[in-house]
Amino acid sequence: MTKKGQFWLMAIVLAYLAIVTMFFYVRSVDRSAVNFFEPNLDLDFQNMISAIKTRNDWLRSGANDWYDLAWQYRRRIEVSETGSPAEIPTGVGAGKVSDCIADFRVVNLTNSEIHANVSATTAPGCNITIGVSTTPFAFYVYYGNPSASTPSYRQATPQQGTERTATMGPELEVPTRGLCTHFNDLYPRSGMQLNCSLVNVTCPTPRTQANISIQLQSTNFKFNGTVFPQSCAA
Amino acid sequence: MELNNRKGFFYFVELMIILIVISVILTHFPVVQKSNTNFQQHENLRQYGFGVMDALDDVGILSRYINTTNFGFTNFTALRAFTQASFPEPIKIQLEYILNSTTCYNQSGYMQLLGNCGLNESARQDAASVLYTFANSSDQITIKINMVNLFGGQAAR
């Protein structure tokens, strides 16, 4: 090809590309072209960031009702029969707890710890053994903290009582990782997935005050870091 | 390749035809649009809806009427009234509440499985939806707001 031929060929190709680019630029003004290839995720991302910021503030505030963020799960349980002691089922599945006696914490609805025993060491079958004199009696059982040690008030061996039925609420995940799991459930096909294994508690003591650190990866951008980091409250 | 010989000329013509064919295909791509509202109108509705929920959260309406201890006791009537009142008259809304990724409440407070939530898409293709997560709770609560602009859209062709 002569130099003149090469020049004109290149010129035509470049002109073509310029025209196509202009066409798609103009058409993308109403986002139609953008949406054709990629759904608009702006509001989804904004929702995630906004919720994480709010959750961080909430965790730092007095409104936070999670007993201790070191415990990964909780379940609300309500019994309507008395017993002395009563053995109340918890519905904790296998694999969530390695040692129920060391791990379980039972608190009332205002987060005051209740001195309770446990009927077994390994789940399933870890029931709460406690004296129930007035009904209805509602409480939370927290579990899923492998580093917890047996509290001083608890018997080191399984304690049985009169078996009672109970109304069990759903298993809730700790608010830090729970939010992350929730987003992954909400946006399964959006291309944005959070890495929930990176959610951690950045304020060690007291653990009820925390920031959420996450990694977010989508098809067209990556976010890795702590959302709106704030200093840990004293 | 010489443009002034026969082989080079046809090569050049072939290239031009390919470029023209690609141009025609690209420029005639149909815009994926299933409703009488276009993408911009959809996006405007979504932005508006998210802004409304964000504002209601900021001023404490969501905190006041969402029962964080027992979500079933949430004042669904008040939430719907406040939300609808935040929109212009022609925009009609429908709320849904997704609780802990397992349960769904409709705007009247009727609980159902998550899979049973959502609009009938074939009936309401012009509806825009956006999610807003209420994070002031140990529960994971997300409000899905579905919006239809009765005066929106464009004439059918």
CATH of the domain at B82: 3.30.450
Whether this prediction's pTM lies above 0.80 is answered by: no
Residue B3 within any structural domain of the chain:
no
Strand, helix or coil for residue B18: helix
Global ipTM: 0.73
Mean confidence (pLDDT) of chain B: 81
**Average pLDDT estimate for A71-98:** 89
Quote the minimal CA–CA distance from A157 to chain B in Å.
32
The pLDDT value given to residue A226: 57
Domain span at B82: 39-149
- DSSP H helices, A87-199, are 100-103, 175-186
Residue B43 within any structural domain of the chain:
yes
Residue B157 within any structural domain of the chain:
no
Structure confidence at residue A82 as a pLDDT band (50, 70, 90): confident
Residue B29 within any structural domain of the chain:
no
**Average pLDDT estimate for B22-45:** 68
Residue B17 within any structural domain of the chain:
no
**Average pLDDT estimate for B31-39:** 56
pLDDT reading at B155 higher than 50: no
Across the interface, whether the CB atoms of B26 and A23 are under 8 A apart is answered yes
The count of domains in chain B is 1
The pLDDT value given to residue A203: 65
pLDDT tens digit string along A39-79? 567 788 888 888 888 888 888 777 778 888 889 899 999 99
pLDDT reading at B157 higher than 50: no
pLDDT reading at A33 higher than 50: no
The pLDDT value given to residue A175: 86
pLDDT reading at A218 higher than 70: no
Mean confidence (pLDDT) of chain A: 79
The pLDDT value given to residue A229: 45
Contacting residues of B for A194, CB less than 8 Å apart? none
Cα dihedral sign for A65, A69, A70, A76? positive
Residue B92 within any structural domain of the chain:
yes
Residue of A nearest to B30 (CA): A36
Q: Phi and psi for B118 in degrees, rounded to 5?
A: 110, 155
Distances from the Cα of B87 to the Cαs of A55, A133, B82, in angstroms?
27, 52, 9
Residue B7 within any structural domain of the chain:
no
Q: Using CA atoms, how far apart are residues A24 and A26, in angstroms rounded to an integer?
A: 5
Structure confidence at residue B124 as a pLDDT band (50, 70, 90): low
The pLDDT value given to residue A25: 65
- A-B contacts (CB, under 8 Å): 103
Residue B23 within any structural domain of the chain:
no
Residue of B5, B25, B100, B145 for testing the chain A interface, max A β-carbons within 10 Å: B100
pLDDT reading at B62 higher than 90: yes
Torsion of CA B150, B152, B155, B156, to 10 degrees: -70
The pLDDT value given to residue A210: 61
